[in-house]
Structures are given as C-alpha cells and as structure tokens.
C-alpha cells in the first residue's frame, strides 16, 4: 500500500532531512516525451533506473538526493500514479517540452493538482522548459514559460537534456530551495 507516504510527509515536517542523512526526494513530473527519462539518466550517470539516489555537491555542501521518475511505473491507472507522485516528493521538477504546447498545458494542470494535494506546504517546484535546443520547433516562448512560473509561484528554467544544458542547474536549484525551506523551519 502507498500509506507509507504518510511517514514521508511527517519526516517532511521535521525539516531535518539533510541532517539525518535521509535524502531529499525529488520527483520528475510531466507529460510523456518531455525528457524525464533523459533527465534521470543525466542524474544517474551510467546507471539509470526508476529510483536513483546520489550525493551531489551544491554550493560546497553535499546533499543526498533521491530522484524519482514515478510516472513511468507499471501502474496503469493515471489517478493512482498521480496520487503516488503527489505524496512522494519533497520537491518537484515539473517538465514540459518547449516544442509541445500540450505538454506546457499539462504542466499547468499538474501544478494545480500539486497545489490541491499540498495546500499548506511550500513544496519547492521548478517549472522546466526542456528541449530548448530545438529552436525551430519551439511552440512555447521563454516569456510564456516565465509568466506561467510567476503565476504558479515557482522558479523557471529552460534546459536541453540533449545538450546537457542547464540540467544540473535545475537539480542544484531544487536543492537550494529545499535547503532554504529547511533553514527557515529551523529558525
Ligand atoms: P519522458 O517520456 O518524459 O521520459 O521523455 P524521454 O526522456 O524519453 O524523451 C522523449 C524523447 O525526447 C526522446 O527521444 C529523447 O531523446 C528526446 N529528448 C529528451 N530531452 C531532449 C532535449 O533536451 N532535446 C532534444 N532534442 N531531444 C530530447
């Protein structure tokens, strides 16, 4: 059963994830084909699997991160997958493809669902416009992406997993936000 997610949320509220050494759980979310698998393989390096844990160095401090691509599970029912995703993460990379307007609209829907599942929590989210190398196929402008992130009160970055451009910046950015949240809870 997925009721273990309750304990995820309570460790969340303890706000001491890094100190206890339990990794930050970062979830990749987004429509099919936007580049989640590509992100996961860059993160994982050689090994790529559904759940990858790594210690990464961000601003001279190490952070344990578990990256979850929960979307591509064997679970077929979308509402179950969504429910699982929404309860699993400490933070979310919300991906769309700049070449696919439908994936951009899907990202908005997912942001709204996320807010519904996490009404009171300031869950770090970065809106990620991937495939920015495909300039001639662009369907979503940078300013649209930025405006959407502003409306949804989250950070924004454009990336290219194919060119390995800004992908680590996105991972580092989410760790910085998790640390800020942790620090504000400790204060
Ligand atoms: P997922 O369904 O979200 O896991 O998407 P994938 O990671 O499987 O990517 C779908 C397709 O887009 C694959 O053919 C990838 O090689 C390609 N792709 C992913 N990221 C990029 C990118 O940044 N640029 C380009 N040109 N192709 C990409």
- Quote the ligand 1 centre to 75 CA distance (angstroms): 21
CB 173 within 8 A of CB 126: yes
162 Cα: distance to centroid of ligand 1 (angstroms): 7
Q: Tokens for 35? A: 């580049």
* Dist CA 31 CA 36 (whole Å): 9
State if residue 34 touches ligand 1 by the CB under 6 angstroms criterion.
Answer: yes
Contact 157, 166 (CB under 8 A): yes
Distance CA 9, CA 123 (A): 11
State the ipTM, two decimals. 0.99
Q: What is the pLDDT of residues 63-96, one digit of tens each?
A: 999 998 865 555 667 777 777 778 889 999 999 9
CA 101 to ligand 1 center in whole angstroms: 15
pTM above 0.95, yes or no: no
Q: Is the CB of 131 under 6 A from ligand 1?
A: yes
For the segment 169-181, what is each residue's pLDDT rounded down to a tens digit? 999 999 999 999 8
Ligand 1 atom, smallest distance to 95 CA? 3
Strand partners, 92: 27, 125
32 lines ligand 1 (CB under 6 A): yes
Rounded distance, CA 65 to CA 56, Å? 7
Question: At 136, is the pLDDT very low, low, confident or very high (cuts 50, 70, 90)?
Answer: very high
SS3 28: strand
Cα 170–42–2 angle (5° rounding)?
A: 80
Question: Cα–Cα distance between 142 and 148 in angstroms, integer?
Answer: 10
């Amino acid at each position: 059963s997925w009721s273990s997610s309750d304990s995820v949320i309570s460790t969340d509220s303890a706000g001491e994830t890094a100190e206890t050494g339990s990794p930050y759980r970062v979830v990749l979310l987004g429509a099919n084909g936007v580049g989640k698998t590509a992100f996961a393989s860059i993160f994982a390096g050689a090994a790529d699997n559904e759940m990858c844990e790594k210690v990464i160095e961000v601003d001279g401090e190490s952070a344990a991160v578990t990256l979850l691509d929960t979307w591509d599970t064997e679970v077929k029912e979308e509402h179950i997958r969504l429910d699982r995703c929404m309860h699993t993460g400490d933070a979310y990379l919300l991906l769309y493809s700049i070449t696919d307007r439908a994936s951009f609209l899907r990202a908005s829907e997912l942001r709204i669902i996320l807010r519904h599942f996490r009404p009171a929590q300031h869950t770090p989210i970065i809106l990620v416009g991937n495939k920015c190398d495909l300039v001639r196929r662009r369907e979503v402008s940078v300013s649209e992406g930025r405006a959407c992130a502003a409306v949804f009160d989250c950070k924004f970055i454009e990336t290219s997993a194919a060119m390995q451009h800004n992908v680590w910046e996105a991972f580092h950015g989410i760790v910085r936000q998790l640390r800020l949240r942790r620090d504000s809870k400790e204060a």
